[in-house]
Amino acid sequence: MKKLAFFALVGLFSLLPYPLLAHGEEVKIGVRVVLASHKGSGVDNGLQDIQRKLNDLFNYSSYRLLQERSFFLTQGQVKQLPLTKGRDLRLKLLRERKGSVEIIVKILREGKEIFKTKAKLKKGGVFLIGGPKHKGGVLVLAISAQGA
Amino acid sequence: MHGCARFTPLLEGYLDGELSAEQIDAVEEHLWSCPRCQKELEELCTLRKILREAMEEGLVNEQLQVAWDRITEGLTPPTLKERIWWPVRNLLPPFRPLRTLAWGLALLAILLFIIPLVTTAPSPPVEVESIESEHPVMIFQGEEGMTVIWLFEAEE
């Protein structure tokens, strides 16, 4: 009888759909704004974890961490951050499912959308958006997502 | 319970007291958990009772026809469905609704969730699904799988 109850419980719990379990979960989004340039050299301490990747990907001599923000988003929630004067970053969490998140990232200039991407990240994954010119260098945004 | 085919032939001997002590133990242990053999035993007992009563009455009255009539009254001939189904039933394991339901649910869980989880190919850490930009854009991946979207923006 105990075996029977065990199998029945396993069966019933397995039937709970994943989206239902994950519904309403918060996702921690991390944003680091980096100024990459040839002025000076070195990598700020706050970028130690991605230093090797930055050096592999780009050939700038200096990487300065301009700002670092982290916040929680739930499905459908939007967060806007100022990047530099006149530039903003807007993030929207579309969906959180099975260890990955779907987000929309927009870059606004003077309130006008100049860039938009939709990406799916595994939790713990990081991706970079680079290129916007700033103070003789370029901005590199490191965007990461983690489960709450 | 499993093993009905082994125990069914022993039931007559069990009622007649012809079995060894080990066989009696085995039959009783099986009967304890097997409703089908319990029913079989009950039917045997009923049949014997009908036969005994009919024979006793016939012998008392010394009329074999009376005994035979009593026997046929007590026995109901099996229907066509029973004649077809019973031999098949004896070959199948007994039907247990709860156990069958539990196994069914477990199988369903495996089909719906476990197999897709095992068979799904690993996805890359980052998948860029779409990009819209006023400026030219390039996507590339580093050696360690880091995805980069590069925006060729005009001078600030």
Residues of the domain holding B50 = 4-107
Measured between CA atoms, the residue of chain A closest to residue B148 is A128
Q: Per-residue confidence at A7, pLDDT binned at 50, 70, 90?
A: low
Q: Choose among B101, B112, B142: nearest Cβ to A53.
A: B142
Checking if the pLDDT of B74 tops 80, the result is: no
Measured between CA atoms, the residue of chain B closest to residue A122 is B125
d(CA B141, CA B156): 26
| A127/B148 CB distance under 8 A | yes
| A11/B102 CB distance under 8 A | yes
Checking if the pLDDT of B36 tops 60, the result is: yes
Measured between CA atoms, the residue of chain A closest to residue B143 is A56
* Percent of chain A residues topping a pLDDT of 90: 37
pLDDT recorded at residue A19? 44
Give me the mean pLDDT over the B74-96 stretch: 73
Measured between CA atoms, the residue of chain B closest to residue A86 is B156
Q: Per-residue confidence at A1, pLDDT binned at 50, 70, 90?
A: low
Q: Helix, strand, or coil here: B90?
A: helix
**Mean pLDDT taken over chain B:** 80
Task: Tell me if B92 is assigned to some domain.
Answer: yes
Q: Facing residues of A96 across strands?
A: A101
Task: Tell me if B114 is assigned to some domain.
Answer: no
d(CA A28, CA A68): 13
Average the pLDDT over each of A92-106, B45-59, B111-125 and give the range with the smallest value: B111-125
Task: Tell me if B21 is assigned to some domain.
Answer: yes
CB-side neighbour CA atoms (13 Å) of B113: 16
pLDDT, tens digit (0-9, with 9 covering 90-100), for A59-86: 899 999 999 999 999 899 999 999 888 8
A146 chain-B contacts, CB cut-off 8 A = none
Task: Tell me if B129 is assigned to some domain.
Answer: no
Task: Tell me if B120 is assigned to some domain.
Answer: no
Checking if the pLDDT of A45 tops 80, the result is: yes
pLDDT recorded at residue B61? 63
Task: Tell me if B144 is assigned to some domain.
Answer: no
Q: Per-residue confidence at B59, pLDDT binned at 50, 70, 90?
A: low
**Contacts (Cβ under 8 Å, ≥6 apart) of B82:** none
Q: How far B141 CA sits from the closest chain A CA (Å)?
A: 8
Task: Tell me if B140 is assigned to some domain.
Answer: no
Checking if the pLDDT of A40 tops 50, the result is: yes
B152 chain-A contacts, CB cut-off 8 A = 131
Give me the mean pLDDT over the B128-156 stretch: 81
Across B133-156, b (16+ Cβ under 10 Å) vs e yields beeebeeeeeeeebbbbbbebeee
Checking if the pLDDT of B118 tops 90, the result is: no
What ipTM was assigned to the predicted interfaces of this complex? 0.79
Tell me the residue type at B6. Answer: R
Q: Per-residue confidence at A17, pLDDT binned at 50, 70, 90?
A: very low
Number of domains in chain B: 1
Q: Which residue in A4, A47, A89 has the most chain B C-beta atoms within 10 A of its own C-beta, making it the best mutation to test that interface?
A: A4
**B35: Cα separation from own chain's centroid:** 14
Q: Per-residue confidence at B58, pLDDT binned at 50, 70, 90?
A: low
